[in-house]
A and B are shown apart, each in its own frame.
Chain A
Amino acid sequence: MEAFFWGVGIFLLVNAFACIWRATAGPTVVDRILAVNIVGTKTLVVLTLLALVFGRSMLLDVALVYGLLNFVITITASRFLETGRLRGDWS
């Protein structure tokens, strides 16, 4: 099972690097933010895999915080892009 998990992890990392190409190529800012969010989702799954393979449940906490930060950062970035400010009403 461990070999299978390593395989899945490497497959996910290859996918993540392919998405990083989209983040560098753009062409628009929203494309880059979306690509970074997707790389974050893949990293989250890889962190969970590592937690199971190494038997460290601490990495699960890292994955949880990583996922929450990923979500909040993307929402904040899209909001900043749309309104140009971070506080107050959305529109």
Chain B
Amino acid sequence: MILTTDIRDAATIVIAIFGGVFFLVGTIGILRLPDFYSRTHAATKCDTIGAGSLLLALAVFNGLEASTWKILALVALVLLNGPTIGHALARAAHRTGLDPWHAEEG
């Protein structure tokens, strides 16, 4: 019984650190990238995968209980959230005439 708890905790830590690294990359991307469209790349991809895997880690930690289904519903919500928000905002920016940033020539 102790062994299975150890395996569960180890899996939680590994998945959570995987998610945390992507969260950090997403934050650095939001702060560093030059324009809105490139920031949306960081936000949709890194944040979706970061939040998804962190919540998955918590679901693994929680084990087989009723509240695990709530956490899995949260995972589904986050996975739906990322690309949809990215598309809606990028479309709003495009239609209101925001030009993408270009690297300078030479």
The short answer to whether A and B are in direct contact, CB under 8 Å, is yes
Residues A74 and B88 in contact, CB atoms below 8 Å apart: yes
- A-to-B contact residues, CB < 8 Å: 1, 4, 8, 11-12, 15, 18-19, 21-22, 28, 30-31, 33-35, 37-38, 41-42, 44-45, 48-49, 51-52, 57, 60-61, 63-64, 67-68, 70-71, 74-75, 78-79, 81-82
- B-to-A contact residues, CB < 8 Å: 9, 12-13, 16, 20, 23-24, 26-27, 30-31, 36, 39-40, 43, 47, 51, 54-55, 58, 61-62, 67, 70-71, 73-74, 77-78, 80-81, 84-85, 88-89, 91-93, 95-96, 98
A interface, over-half SS? helix
Q: How far is the CB of B81 from chain A (nearest CB, A)?
A: 5
**A41 contact from B36, B58, B62, B78, Cβ within 8 A:** B78
